[in-house]
Chains A and B, each alone.
Chain A
Amino acid sequence: MPGGARRRLLGWFSRHPRLQLLALLVPPAGWFGLVYYGSLALLLVSAFWTLDPTTHQVLHQFSLANLQKLVTESVYPTIALRTTVIAAIVTVADAVIAFPIAFYMARVASPRTRAALAVAVLLPLWASYLVRVYAWRVILSDSGLVDWAFAQLGIANVGSLFGISDLSMTIVFIYLWLPYMILPIFAGLERIPASYLEASADLGGRPWTTFRRIILPLAIPALAAGSIFTFSLTLGDYITPSLVSNSQFIGNVIVGELGVAGDIPFAAAFAMVPIAIMAVYLLTVRRLGAFEAL
C-alpha cells in the first residue's frame, strides 16, 4: 500500500527531528558550503601562489610574494585607501540623504503615498546600472545638462567642476546606492511603535529631542543594515570609476590583473583587501543589530 508506506515513512521521519533538520539543512548548506565558500576558500588559497615570471604558469607553492608586493609598492595601499575613503563618504552621504525621505514615508505619508513612494524608490534599481551611469555622464560632463542648466541662469563653467573627476564618481555612487539605504531605514522606522513617540511627546519631549533620543537610536540597526550595501557596493565597483573618473579602485586592479594579465594569484591577493575590510565592517555592524534589520 503506497499510502501506508508513505504514512509509515513520514511517521518514522516525524519521530526523528534530527533527520528532518538534516533534510532541510543539507541542500542549502551543501550549496553554500561547496559552491560559494568552497570557491572563496580556493580564492584565498590561490592568493599565496605565484605566477612564474617566465612561463606564466601558476606555481602552486606557498609564497608571500603577492602580499609583499601589495604592501611594498605604494600604489596598492593608495588605491585601497582611496576606495575605502570614497566608500565611507558615499555611505555617510547616503545615510544623510535617505533619512528624511525614509522618515516621511514611514511616519508622515498616507498609506497610499507610502506605497507609491516605496515603488518609486525601488524602481530605478531595475533600470540597468550601466545605462544609468552613462546617463550621469550626460548630466555631469563639461558641457552637460548641469552645465547647460546653470548657463541658462547666467552661471558659466559649472560643468568643469564635475566632468571626469572623483567628485562626479562620488555623486554617481551616492545616486546608485541610495535606494539600498532608503528602504532599510524606512522599514526600520516603520517598526517603531507609535506609542514610543507619543510617550516622548507626553513627557514633554520636543520633536528634535524625540528624534535624537528615541528615533535615531532605534533606527541604528536599519542604518547599519543600509550601510552594508552602500559601503560594500562602492568598495567592489570598478565600472563606475572607469566611466566617470580617472581614479583606479581596488576592483579595477583586480580586473586588470585577472583579465589582462591572467595573474589570478595577485588578483586573489588584492581581493583579500576588500574581504578583510568587509569582514571587519560586518562584525562591527552586526553588534549594532544590522543583521536583524536586513
Chain B
Amino acid sequence: MRAAAARVGLRVATGLTVAFLYLPIAVIALYAFNGDRGQTWPITNFSLQWFGDAFNNQSVRDAMVLSVSIATLAMLAAIILGTAASLAVHRYRFFGRDIVSFALVLPIALPGIITGIALNAAFRGIGLGLGTLTIVIGHATFCVVVVYNNVIARLRRSSSSLEEASADLGADQLQTFRYVTLPVIRTALLAGALLAFALSFDEIIVTYFVAGTQETIPIWIYDHLHQPNQRPIVNVVALFVILLSTIPVYISQRLVGAEATAGAATGASARR
C-alpha cells in the first residue's frame, strides 16, 4: 500500500518537475509569435512575420556557420586531448596521476567568468588577437573533460585483456588502438564528442570574453535580446536551436543511454 502511494507520489513529483522545466520553453515558443516589441504577458497581437525574418537574416546565418565551425574545431581538439588524457590515466601509473581528473574538472567547476577573464587577460598579454582561434582554444579547454569522463568511464568498465591479447598476437601499438581500443571506446567517444559540440555551441560567458568581434549564435542572441525590435526573432532562433539540438541529444541517448546522460550533466555544466 505504502509503496503504491510512494509510487504515485513519485509520478506526480516527476510530472511537476518536467512541467517546471518546460514552462519557460513553452513561453519562448509562444512569444515567437508575439506581434509586440515588448515582452509582457499576455500576448495581445500574434504575428508570423518573425519566422520569415529570422530565416532571411544574414547575421543569424553567419553566426550559425561560425558557431558550427567553432564547435567542430573545439570538439576535435577535445577528442584528441580527452582521449589521450584518459588513455594515459587508465594505462599508466605516474606522478600526478591523481590530480589529472581534478585538473580537467576545474575549468568546469570554476565559474565561467573566471575562465573568461583569465583567458582574456592572457591572450591580451601575449598579443594574440581575439577571434575565432581564441574562442576555439577557450571552448576546447572546458570541452576536454566531457570526452575524458566518457572515455575513462568506458575504459574502467572494459577489460584490458583484449589489448594484452592483441599485443601478444604481434599487433603494434597503432594496430591495437585501431582494432581493439577504438571499438571499445567508440560509442563513449562519440557521445562525449557530441556533447562537447553542443557545449561549445551554446556557451556564452567564456565566449563573451574571448570572442573579440566574432559573433557566435549565443553572442548574437545576447546582442539582439537587448533590442526590442529583435526579440521575437531571438525567440524564433532559440526555438530553432532547441529543435536542432534534439538531434545530437537523441543520437547520444540511443548510443549509450544512461552513460551519455550522466556525461551530459558534466558536459552541459561547462557551458556556464
A and B touching (Cβ–Cβ under 8 A): yes
Cα–Cα distance between A117 and B122 once the two chains are bound (Å): 42
Cα–Cα distance between A14 and B163 once the two chains are bound (Å): 13
- B41 touching A145, Cβ below 8 Å: yes
- B42 touching A148, Cβ below 8 Å: yes
Q: Does A194 contact B (CB under 8 A)?
A: no
Nearest Cβ on chain B to A223's Cβ, whole angstroms: 12
The binding surface of chain A is classed by DSSP as: helix
Q: Which of A7, A37, A124, A128 contacts B21 (CB 8 A)?
A: A124
Cα–Cα distance between A7 and B242 once the two chains are bound (Å): 49
- B103 touching A24, Cβ below 8 Å: no
- B222 touching A130, Cβ below 8 Å: yes
Which of the candidate stretches B52-60, B112-120, B182-190 sits at the interface with the other chain?
A: B112-120
In B109-146, which residues have CB < 8 Å from any A CB?
109-115, 117-119, 121-122, 125, 137, 140-141, 144
Q: Does B169 contact A (CB under 8 A)?
A: no
Cα–Cα distance between A132 and B21 once the two chains are bound (Å): 10
Nearest Cβ on chain B to A166's Cβ, whole angstroms: 19
The binding surface of chain B is classed by DSSP as: helix
Give B4-23 as 1s and 0s: 1 = Cβ < 8 Å from A's Cβ atoms: 00110111011001101111
- B18 touching A101, Cβ below 8 Å: yes
- B3 touching A24, Cβ below 8 Å: no
18 residue pairs A–B, Cβ–Cβ below 8 Å: A23-B84, A31-B144, A32-B103, A39-B121, A97-B20, A100-B9, A100-B14, A100-B17, A101-B14, A117-B18, A125-B268, A129-B204, A139-B23, A182-B265, A183-B262, A187-B262, A255-B113, A294-B105
Q: Which residues of B contact A (CB under 8 A)?
A: 2-3, 6-7, 9-11, 13-14, 17-18, 20-25, 27-28, 31, 39-42, 77, 80-82, 84-85, 87-88, 91-92, 94, 101-115, 117-119, 121-122, 125, 137, 140-141, 144, 149, 167, 172-174, 198, 201-202, 204-205, 217-218, 221-222, 225, 231, 234-235, 237-238, 241-242, 245-246, 249-250, 253, 257-259, 261-262, 264-266, 268-269, 271-272
Q: Which residues of A contact B (CB under 8 A)?
A: 6-7, 10-11, 13-14, 17, 20-21, 23-25, 27-29, 31-32, 35-40, 42-43, 46, 97-98, 100-101, 103-105, 108, 114-115, 117-132, 134-139, 141, 143-145, 147-148, 175, 177-180, 182-184, 186-187, 190, 206-207, 225-226, 228-229, 232-233, 235-239, 251, 254-255, 258, 264, 267-268, 271, 274-275, 278, 282, 286, 291, 294
